[in-house]
Amino acid sequence: MTHEATMSATDFMMPTYRPWPVQFVSGHGSTLVADDGSDYLDLVAGIAVASVGHAHPDVAEAVAKQAHELMHTSNLYRTHPAAALAERLSALTGGKLAFFCNSGAEAIECALKLSRKWGRGRRGATTIVATHNGFHGRTFGALAATGQPAKQAPFEPLPGGFTHVPFGDAHALEAILGEETCALVIEPIQGEAGVVVPREGYLARARELCTERDVLLVLDEIQTGLGRTGAWFAAEHEGVDPDVVCVGKALASGLPMAACLARPNIAQSFQPGDHATTFGGGPVQSAAALATLDVIDREELVARAATAGATLARGLRRIAGAEMEVRGRGLMIGIDLGAPRARAVAEAAFARRVLVNDATPSVVRLVPPFVITDDEIARAVEVLGEVLVAGESS
């Protein structure tokens, strides 16, 4: 056996991931196909990315067509796909203006810088309030906003000017939002913390407080947005319109694409040179995003996320043990196992060719494509039922 044959691709990568022992070569709908021909039911969707399913033909065609025409110009020049996408997202968000970038963390960085500049010009306010257990990314600014000390500690000192309060606690917001606060940054549902849903009325109260105290409400909808919870944006369930919203993940069906969207009067705090990106809003990514939004509209996938999510959650609650909690909204579901065995559950499901994500030691997260079929939901519930029962008896 040659040296090359004994090496794997991960031998040449930094050890920042713990990949599963499989290599995928293709996908369609809610299915991923491994290099040995095995099919896997994908309830992870690239971590809430493949909302319209893997390799949707309309998205693939849009990418190929645009790649043959124009792949890159930088933001020194305008392109039609980026302009059309900005207009489309503005219509979805009540007239907000877009800054395109490559990842959710970059969208958050844009929001943080915009909030600081807006607040400094307003009254010299620079403090940003975020929540315990929130997750906003791994760049330095986004990590400072992230309320998870274990992720922060290895990289301290982090940028200052951030304060954290308990998630879902409106009284804590009332106590902390003051003259020095420029923005409140929150997830409508905390994803990486284990699909934590705040009590009803929390987002609405946050909106009221931010309006009363002249503080920007910045919503991180990178995981919850673009239909995942059964509405275009999770904040819509409470009728909340943020000042700034960040989207990513599902925006371009897997191409690196995200956006920070802000009300025009806030966006105008930026001037040329304040913020930039080389690749953000590139023609190919923008074409993919436009095609993705077209598919979501035409196939009525926002409504499908709501109905499929309700069916999946109902099935999971039927099989869950007494100590377990099934929570979430739409096709963003967490199974709180009540014990630190999420990895074991994920491994047992993987052995049965069903992919789930151990978001925390005790929570399994399911964020499948919106196109998941009723038969696939039934299979998911059957397999997870077997796995959960086996886990209880071991």
Catalytic residue among 135, 167, 233, 370: 135
Residue 169 annotated as catalytic? no
Helix or strand (DSSP H, E) at 357? strand 357-360
Catalytic residue among 42, 100, 233, 249: 249
- Strands 258-262 and 244-247, bridge-based pairing: antiparallel
Q: Residues 336-368: pLDDT tens digits?
A: 999 999 999 999 999 999 999 999 999 999 999
User: Looking up tokens 């047992």, which residue turns up?
Assistant: 348
Domain count, the chain: 2
How far is it, in rounded angstroms, from Cα 301 to Cα 51? 9
Q: Do 321 and 225 share a structural domain?
A: no
Residue 1 one-letter amino acid = M
Q: Do 133 and 264 share a structural domain?
A: yes
Q: Do 50 and 64 share a structural domain?
A: no
Q: Do 79 and 49 share a structural domain?
A: no
Q: Do 223 and 107 share a structural domain?
A: yes
The closest alpha carbon to 169, from 213, 130, 143, 136, belongs to 130
Q: Do 98 and 239 share a structural domain?
A: yes
pLDDT value for 2: 42
pLDDT value for 321: 87
DSSP code, position 341: -
Beta strands in 21-87 (DSSP E): 24-28, 31-34, 39-42
Residue that finishes a domain, picked among 272, 298, 324: 298
Higher pLDDT, 198 or 11: 198
Residue that finishes a domain, picked among 298, 333, 356: 298
Q: Domain range spanning residue 155?
A: 57-298
Residue 42 annotated as catalytic? no
Q: Do 177 and 237 share a structural domain?
A: yes
CA dist list (Å): 44 to 51, 63, 227:
10, 23, 16
Q: Do 144 and 11 share a structural domain?
A: no
Question: Residue 263's domain is classified under what CATH number?
Answer: 3.40.640.10
- Would the pLDDT of 1 be above 70? no
pLDDT value for 390: 76
- Would the pLDDT of 392 be above 70? no
Q: Do 75 and 37 share a structural domain?
A: no
Mean pLDDT of all residues in 178-198: 98
Q: Do 278 and 193 share a structural domain?
A: yes
Beta strands in 133-186 (DSSP E): 162-165, 181-186
Q: Residues 39-87: pLDDT tens digits?
A: 999 999 999 999 999 999 999 999 999 999 999 999 999 999 999 999 9
Residue that finishes a domain, picked among 298, 325, 355: 298
Question: Residue 45's domain is classified under what CATH number?
Answer: 3.90.1150.10
Q: Mean pLDDT, the chain, as a whole number?
A: 96
Q: Residues 302-322: pLDDT tens digits?
A: 999 999 999 999 999 999 988
Residue 167 annotated as catalytic? no
- pTM of this structure: 0.95
pLDDT value for 389: 81
Give me the long-range contacts of 380-385 (CB less than 8 A, separation at least 24): 380/41, 380/43, 380/312, 380/315, 380/354, 381/312, 381/315, 381/316, 381/318, 381/319, 383/41, 383/349, 383/352, 383/354, 384/316, 384/319, 384/335, 384/345, 384/349, 384/354, 384/356, 385/319
Q: Which of 12-16, 128-132, 203-207, 338-342 has the lowest mean pLDDT?
A: 12-16
Task: Give the three-state DSSP class for 131.
Answer: strand
Catalytic residue among 42, 220, 243, 336: 220
Mean pLDDT of all residues in 193-210: 98
Mean pLDDT of all residues in 135-160: 97
- Would the pLDDT of 4 be above 60? no
Q: Do 330 and 249 share a structural domain?
A: no
Q: Do 327 and 389 share a structural domain?
A: yes
